[in-house]
Structure 1
Amino acid sequence: MMQRFKAALLQRRNNLHIHSLRFLNQFHTRNLCSLPDTAITDELDNQVLVEGKAWSRTAILNRPSVLNCLSTAMGARLQKLYTSWENNPDIGFVAMKGSGRAFCAGGDIVTLYHMINAGKMEDCKEFFRTLYTYIYILGTYLKPHVALLNGITMGGGAGVSIPGMFRVATDKTVFATPETLIGFHPDAGASFFLSHLPGHLGEYLGLTGQKLNGAEMISCGLATHYAHSSKLDLIEEQLGKLDTDDPSVIETSLEKCSDLVYLDNISVLHRIEILDKCFSHDTVEEIIDALESETSKTNDAWCISTLRRLKEASPLGLKVSLKSIREGRFQTLDQCLIREYRMSLQGISNQVSRDFCEGVRARMVDKDLAPKWNPPSLEQVSKDMVEHYFSPLSKSEPDLELPTELREAFT
């Protein structure tokens, strides 16, 4: 891997620099020209801070009051920073962390909810375009990347970190992809990384939105290293002293600060056999039937809680999410992102259902925790409804355009 990254960097740096800057200049001109200069500065500079070291740069997600939820401005700034750093021969590697008690709780879905209700669909599209394009850049990055996943790491927060080379989880890390509980689907590249987890763990996480801790993340491969949160300052100090672009040197530095991992007795990873047995089925209905069968035989607490979560989720969201994760198993990261972009626009268009807005309203706005899903049951979710999420956008609406011709595919 190290040799491939270095060779690609040497061969393509000049060409990538010219074309990536052209791509980003067109992007920023199109999307930011309507904002006042002061607003642009505030949005782009303050929501993502930069910490510079001799041979590295750290991007700091800086919206602690909303758990560092991702905005369009953050996606745009991350694109610009990462492209600049990738093309700078004096920067060997890049890191990312969050301010406060979260790494990143995902996309700013409350703002997205208000934009949809205000009819600002172009702004919604820009949100997904900026976020997904950054994730693709990270997934194909030519330099080592270290994400410090201390605290809440959910939804889009996983998307902006897991495609990178190194992910450090801690005792405070809480991972989840809870999109079905708000009438949506695991996005931001989640259909790619969930589908590549051991067995059918990805289906379980994607459908139920259940949480994993740091020890579980490294045990299943979502994280590459684990360290107690008290060691983060030491990890950052050691990384800051490195004068390298060699992944093996960074690996060694992280290993020195890493701790042994011990799974709790109640961890879902101890139940991987029954999980695979239930979540390997072709349909959501069959998955639920299998869980109910196990429950009737064993009265197992995990089966009971899993069934409860599935029954709280959007029926349409469950079926769309299962199909998405299954397709992700046979696609590259860019293919998943392009498909998820299409699915996301279909999901917020309200053409088939208003489940996304209803889910956000119930959980994040009114907080009554009583969403009225439409359709209200799995039986009423037709195949055509599900297929609509995967169907091409209108002739006037292009698919997500990623700079794939400039970068090596992430598989």
Structure 2
Amino acid sequence: MPTSMSAFLRRRCRMSSLAIIRSFTRSFASQTKSSAAALDDPHHNHVIVQGRGNSRTAILNRPSSLNALDTSMGDTLQKLYESWENNPDVRLVALKGSSRAFCAGGDIVRLSQLVDKGDLEACKDFFWTLYRFIYLLGTYLKPHVALLNGITMGGGAGISVPGTFRVATEKTVFATPETLIGFHPDAGASFYLSHLSGRIGEYLALTGDRLNGAEMMACGLATHYSLHAKLPLIEEHIGNLVTDDPSVVEASLEKYSDLVYPDNMSIIQRTETIDKCFGHDTVEEIIDFMESEAARTTDPWCISTLKRLHDASPLSLKVALRSIREGRFQTLDQCLIREYRMSLQGVSKQITNDFCEGVRAQVVDKDFRPKWDPPSLEHVSEDMVDQYLSPLDKNLGPELELPTSQREAFR
């Protein structure tokens, strides 16, 4: 996975001189109009803005839903971030969540309701808006600091990991649990997970296992670790900076960082086993090797990993593995365009109803007994996986459009 500093500098260098000049010479009136438009939305209180000197902080504010994202929030973030990038007085942008969560991901219950009503246009709007914002964040020209205090899952990781800096705490809980709800790791997950060392990306994508803040630091998903009690000090310090130099921001974050190591039970201590088992070509082979490892060692971790794999949607497992493997050789924009296709295929019910069934079983009814279709790996054909990743037909199109000619993504 690219380091934060090197990726940030590449983002700046790859922008053409004309694009940079344009981004800093738009009129202040245009910036003000854009910000006002973002706040005209009746749900604008779901994203609160704090301004301090040369910095701006966006606060996700749906605490009753663990700050889950909806289309309106994604649209508001897009408009705010565009206006801040174009404003020479804004040097640094930060993002955090209210209450005990950073962001639990997309509002999957609402999305499932839209699918059941047959409102695919609203589903398209959601994914289109969210993925375009993630691309903006991943190519942002100003230092970005995400304060990942609390739950950071799915889309919550998507709107933070592609940015310059990510600060984890002892309260951070990270996961990409989409296979357990009959979906696929999306919102850029096939990019950032596939670029982690070894096969930990495949492991996280398939099992949906959770990482704490120390583990995020160890594998590179977080750039800094601080005790949550220090977050107000961090916010005050970076809020008073008058520079957009990422090295200065990094030094400021390091000033409040704490040294931390994963404990002996962490999956970071099991990378050898993960690499050995999750490096195989198929989900069936991965499970076979995990079963052999469990029989050989009687390790409770192996048994719990197998349970996660058996609990997940069989189709989602195969789709997720293919997605991570393709993401390893793609840029951020290519991953997002492919994931957009996959997401619409996944909610269209043309292949399966696993998404709605998974949300019902895991979140709505909470009986934790989803009836997957297909019900087992042996019933999942390659044609089904191919269709999941295939270009959109006229009923689901058009494809996701990203401003790649103005904002080139990094590898």
Shorter-chain TM-score tier: over 0.9
Give the SS at the match of 1:41.
coil
Identify which range, 3-12 or 341-350, moves more after superposition.
3-12
Match of 1:13 among 4, 7, 20: 20
- Aligned partners of 1:113, 1:344: CA distance in 2, in Å? 12
Q: Show CA shifts across 1:234-270 (max 9, x none).
A: 1111111111100011011000000001211100010
Residue type of the partner of 1:152? I
Structure 1 residue 9: Cα displacement: 8.4
- Aligned partners of 1:179, 1:319: CA distance in 2, in Å? 12
Residue 408 (1) aligns with residue 401 (2): no
Give the SS at the match of 1:392.
coil
Residue type of the partner of 2:225? Y
- Aligned partners of 1:76, 1:5: CA distance in 2, in Å? 22
> Retained in 2: the 8 A contact 1:145–1:164?
yes
Relative to structure 1, the CA distance from residue 85 to residue 9 in structure 2 (aligned partners, 3 Å threshold; closer, same or farther) is farther
> Retained in 1: the 8 A contact 2:11–2:408?
no
Residue type of the partner of 2:19? R
Structure 1 residue 364: Cα displacement: 1.0
Structure 1 residue 41: Cα displacement: 2.6
Give the SS at the match of 2:59.
strand
> Retained in 2: the 8 A contact 1:217–1:223?
yes
Structure 1 residue 18: Cα displacement: 8.9
Question: Which residue of structure 2 lines up, in the alignment, with residue 50 of structure 1?
Answer: 49
Residue type of the partner of 2:238? L
Q: Show CA shifts across 1:11-62 (max 9, x none).
A: 523434799x9xx9xx99xxx9xxxx99x5322x211110001111001011
> Retained in 1: the 8 A contact 2:69–2:106?
yes
- Alignment TM-score, normalising by the size of structure 2: 0.93
Question: Which residue of structure 1 lines up, in the alignment, with residue 182 of structure 2?
Answer: 183
- Aligned partners of 1:133, 1:407: CA distance in 2, in Å? 12
Residue type of the partner of 1:405? S
Question: Which residue of structure 2 lines up, in the alignment, with residue 391 of structure 1?
Answer: 390
- Aligned partners of 2:131, 2:60: CA distance in 1, in Å? 16
- Aligned partners of 2:249, 2:223: CA distance in 1, in Å? 12
Residue 102 (1) aligns with residue 109 (2): no
Q: How many residues align?
A: 397
Give the SS at the match of 2:193.
helix
> Retained in 2: the 8 A contact 1:5–1:143?
no
Q: Show CA shifts across 1:159-198 (max 9, x none).
A: 0000000000000000000000000000000000000011
Q: Show CA shifts across 1:248-302 (max 9, x none).
A: 1101100000000121110001010011000000000000000001111111111
Residue 172 (1) aligns with residue 171 (2): yes
Give the SS at the match of 2:105.
coil
Unaligned runs of 5+ in 1: none
Relative to structure 1, the CA distance from residue 249 to residue 9 in structure 2 (aligned partners, 3 Å threshold; closer, same or farther) is farther
Give the SS at the match of 1:195.
coil
- Alignment TM-score, normalising by the size of structure 1: 0.93
1:218-233 alignment to 2 at 5 Å? 218-233=217-232
- Aligned partners of 2:264, 2:24: CA distance in 1, in Å? 50
Question: Which residue of structure 2 lines up, in the alignment, with residue 359 of structure 1?
Answer: 358
Residue type of the partner of 2:116? N
Structure 1 residue 148: Cα displacement: 0.2
- Aligned partners of 2:151, 2:178: CA distance in 1, in Å? 15
- Aligned partners of 2:169, 2:137: CA distance in 1, in Å? 22
1:4-403 alignment to 2 at 5 Å? 8=15, 11-16=18-23, 41-43=41-43, 45-395=44-394, 397-403=397-403
Give the SS at the match of 2:405.
helix
Residue type of the partner of 2:302? C
> Retained in 2: the 8 A contact 1:9–1:142?
no
Q: Show CA shifts across 1:356-397 (max 9, x none).
A: 000001011111111000111000001111110111111351
Residue type of the partner of 1:48? V
Residue type of the partner of 1:92? R
> Retained in 1: the 8 A contact 2:11–2:139?
no
Relative to structure 1, the CA distance from residue 3 to residue 355 in structure 2 (aligned partners, 3 Å threshold; closer, same or farther) is closer
Unaligned runs of 5+ in 2: 1-5
> Retained in 1: the 8 A contact 2:283–2:321?
yes
- Aligned partners of 1:156, 1:187: CA distance in 2, in Å? 7
Residue type of the partner of 1:53? R
